[in-house]
Amino acid sequence: MSPRWIALVHQLPERTRLRTPVLRGDEPACERAADALAAVPGVRKVAVRPYTGSILVDHEPTVGADVLVAEARRVLDCTRVVARGEPVPVDGEVPAFSALARKMAHAALEIDREVRRHTEGAVDLGTLAALGFVGAGMLEVATSDHLRLPPWFNLGWWAFRTFMTTERDEIQAELESR
């Protein structure tokens, strides 16, 4: 069962966004929430997104977020209000990898094991793949007479991956401190 929490995502003078997993895929709950919040004095418009569990409320500046949160919590029977900045509860029921993902991971591990076995531990699959990419890049430069700039998405991915690799210890420490 999904956790029954609601969070105030953001609030501006005439606009408030709430989020709750209770709404995800539940059209009747979305309609109940929209009707209840639309009945709050000063509310002009309510938009509920069942895919994300998000509620966007346009309202008069005098309508407080606490009133909207309380009403949504009441009508959706949420047991907890998540404070700003607090991480949202995670549902303990995380689906396992798909059968295809397990087979692909198993195949990659077997190929890696065979590469290490045949090279007596001198090379693994990751090193072989990296050398292959370097070789393909050098071949492209040699055959095209110029060095092209990589596409933006490659540069973005490399920047992200480099950050995640070099900051691994700090990221892990931050996650463990929560």
Beta bridge partners of 5: 80
Beta bridge partners of 15: 12, 58
Q: Give the residue-averaged pLDDT of 76-85.
A: 86
Contact in structure between 34 and 46 (CB atoms under 8 Å)? yes
Residue 48 confidence (pLDDT): 94
Beta bridge partners of 48: 55
For the whole model, what pTM was predicted? 0.52
Cα–Cα distance between 59 and 68 in angstroms, integer?
Answer: 10
- Indicate if the pLDDT at residue 95 is higher than 70: no
Beta bridge partners of 57: 16, 46
Contact in structure between 61 and 52 (CB atoms under 8 Å)? no
Residue 11: strand, helix, or coil? strand
- Indicate if the pLDDT at residue 94 is higher than 70: no
Beta-carbon contacts of 93 under 8 Å, excluding residues fewer than 6 positions away, are 1
Place of tokens 């709430």: 18
Report the alpha-carbon angle 66-69-72, nearest 5. Answer: 150
pLDDT-derived band at 162 (thresholds 50, 70, 90) equals: confident
